Amino acid sequence: MMEPKKVVVLALHDALESAYPPLNIAVGAASSGADVILAFSRKGVNILDEKYIPVPSEGIEYLSNALNDFNAPSIHELLEIAVETGVKLYVVDLDLKEDIHFLYPADQVPIKWVLNEAVSADLFVHF
């Protein structure tokens, strides 16, 4: 039997257009049987916050409506699918004094750990 592929995804930003790619890749990879690590940087960790409201960057405000028109799942729905498909969640170098209420548990790891995991991964992407 073949070893499952290993995929490491690093979410660097929480703007709407930056939140979808790492979640889509993590869900797709996990759905295909890969072992997936989804790590969130300090600027991406808000995606895990129950109060997170994804806002598009200036100039692409139309994106919210386009995603609604397309019936795309919300960021929180994608995160739920990721967890249900076995994606492992991590936060990188987070200052735990920040007032974040995680929707799902995530282990705290140093960036060096993520990069070490990335070296042995079949795919490493960051957005």
> For the chain, how many structural domains are there in total?
1
Q: Does a structural domain hold residue 1?
A: no
Q: Does a structural domain hold residue 115?
A: no
Query: What are the CA-CA distances from residue 116 to residues 10, 12, 41, 42, 50 (Å)?
Result: 13, 17, 15, 19, 29
- DSSP letters, 59-126, are T-THHHHHHHHTTPPPHHHHHHHHHHTTPEEEEES--TTS---BSS--EEE-HHHHHHHHHT-SEEEE
The whole-number pLDDT of residue 97 equals 59
Output the domain CATH number for residue 55.
3.40.1260.10
For 80-125, the pLDDT digits (tens) are 999 999 999 999 987 665 678 899 999 999 999 999 999 999 999 9
Taking the model in full, what pTM does it have? 0.92
Q: Does a structural domain hold residue 96?
A: yes
For 38-62, the pLDDT digits (tens) are 999 989 999 999 999 999 999 998 9
Domain around 103: 6-110+120-126
- Does 77 or 93 have the greater pLDDT score? 77
